[in-house]
Structure 1
Amino acid sequence: MFTGIIEATGRIKAIQRQSTGARIEIDTQSLDMSDVQLGDSIATNGICLTVVSFTNASFVADVSIETLERTGFGNYQTGQRVNLEKAMLATSRFGGHIVSGHVDGIATITAITERGNAWEYWLQVDDSLKGYIAEKGSVTIDGISLTVNSVDDDKFRLTIVPHTRAETIIETYTLGQEVNLEVDVVARYVERLLQCQKQGTTDSGVSESLLRKSGFIKA
């Protein structure tokens, strides 16, 4: 599990594409690798990757066909910068929100505006994902835990403060760029519970009326 608080940015050192997926090597740059072991998880642009080999300055991971099809990895190139976060420890400070490293799909940047000391980014998602985006809720963009400040149908707005922009790859974003999106994991499970309840396969006690009464669903 991750928190969405980026520890460092790295660069893609090599990509070996195969019919069964790909193998990727990441130059970790300032990421502390002293406690990394084989089999550890490192979120790379929000994608949970398993370390299959490493040095004090890089790691190698395998990327499945599912990941290549579901995320931006299918279009990544050697030299490209990526956000990095090691899996959190039970003793770690929980600074962001619950991030699984399982990307749900792609969001496209449609507008970038400087406002005061911050930047506002509007992003668009497929209709299949827009129901998971809630005002003042959390999303993960390329591994970064961010707050949704407003929603307009299939578009949503993020406000990026200078520190976040400087410490991540957000400063490189351009109009039309596609980024990895992970929705709040709680929304996934609530939806599944409601689906099963409607189908009569479970009785979780969770209902639309309960969620509405508790303020999780707006009238």
Structure 2
Amino acid sequence: MFTGIIQGLGTLLEKKPSGGGMTFGLEADFLLTDPEEGESIAVNGVCLTARNINGSRFTVDVSPESLARTGLGRLRAGDRVNLERALRLSDRLGGHLVSGHVDAQGRVEQRRPAGDFTLFTFSLDQGLTRYIIEKGSIAINGISLTVNRCERDRFSVSIIPHTLAVTTLGTLQEGDLVNIEVDMIGKYVEKMLAGQSAAGLPGRINPAFLAEHGFL
């Protein structure tokens, strides 16, 4: 589990095919203190298992599923990525609960300045935008962000200068693809309601109840 608060950037040193997937060699711009072989680390928002950890360098294996669902396969040697080590139970939850399981890729439709900030608009499959709400949380390339506005097939976020400077968001251009993980709470609520309905149970928790109390 992660928070979406990026700890630093990494550089892809090498990539090679491995058992239908790929193996990446990465170097972080910070030391992996107290390393644990097999620990989880989010690379551009994708939860991967780190091995051969040596100082700031480590190796990860990327499965065929991760290559198909995310943009990791398009990375080239020298590319920069966002890195976050797994959350400890004693850590501050500065962003929101991020699983590192990317739902889909979105596209940068617009990037424009807004005073000292930068406003990004992303398009996303309509099947996922139903989980996005204004002022809710979303993870883009592993970064926890707050949704400004959301429409049928797109949403926008406002990026502060600090986030633009210390993550890969600063290099994003219109047309680029990004890894997106929607807020998992909405998906759990939807499944619970669907199961309740299928079982023929009236229950107190239903769409009307959620709307009345500001959840929808």
1:59 aligns to 2:58 (yes or no): yes
Structure 1 114/61 Cα, relative in aligned 2: closer, same or farther at 3 Å? same
Aligned residues: 216
Match of 2:123 in 1: 124
Q: CA deviation at 1:119?
A: 0.3
Match of 1:176 in 2: 175
- State the secondary structure of the residue aligned to 2:83: strand
Which blocks of at least 5 consecutive residues in structure 1 are unaligned?
none
Q: State which drifts further: 185-194 or 195-204.
A: 195-204
> 8 Å contact 1:27–1:59 — kept in the other structure?
yes
For residues 76-108 of structure 1, the C-alpha deviation after alignment (integer angstroms, 9 at most, x for no partner) is 111111000001111111110011111000110
- State the secondary structure of the residue aligned to 2:119: strand
Q: CA deviation at 1:130?
A: 1.2
Alpha-carbon separation, structure 2, partners of 1:9 and 1:203: 49
Structure 1 13/191 Cα, relative in aligned 2: closer, same or farther at 3 Å? same
Match of 1:21 in 2: 21
Alpha-carbon separation, structure 1, partners of 2:82 and 2:206: 38
Residue type at the aligned position of 1:151:
C
Match of 1:40 in 2: 39
- State the secondary structure of the residue aligned to 1:68: helix
Structure 1 197/155 Cα, relative in aligned 2: closer, same or farther at 3 Å? same
Q: CA deviation at 1:128?
A: 1.5
Structure 1 59/202 Cα, relative in aligned 2: closer, same or farther at 3 Å? farther
Aligned structure 1 segments of 4 or more residues deviating by more than 6 angstroms? 201-204
- State the secondary structure of the residue aligned to 2:16: strand
For residues 44-73 of structure 1, the C-alpha deviation after alignment (integer angstroms, 9 at most, x for no partner) is 100011112211021111111110111111
Give the structure-1-normalised TM-score. Answer: 0.94
> 8 Å contact 1:12–1:82 — kept in the other structure?
yes
Alpha-carbon separation, structure 1, partners of 2:9 and 2:100: 16
Structure 1 11/199 Cα, relative in aligned 2: closer, same or farther at 3 Å? same
For residues 119-171 of structure 1, the C-alpha deviation after alignment (integer angstroms, 9 at most, x for no partner) is 00000001221111111100000000000001121111100000000110111
Give the structure-2-normalised TM-score. Answer: 0.96
Q: CA deviation at 1:202?
A: 7.4
Query: What RMSD over aligned residues (CA atoms) do the two structures have, in Å?
Result: 1.4
Residue type at the aligned position of 1:34:
T
Residue type at the aligned position of 2:142:
G
Alpha-carbon separation, structure 2, partners of 1:121 and 1:55: 36
Alpha-carbon separation, structure 2, partners of 1:202 and 1:26: 51
Residue type at the aligned position of 1:82:
V
- State the secondary structure of the residue aligned to 1:121: strand
Match of 1:81 in 2: 80
Structure 1 201/111 Cα, relative in aligned 2: closer, same or farther at 3 Å? same
Counterpart mapping for 1:1-219 below 5 A? 1-30=1-30, 32-200=31-199, 205-217=204-216
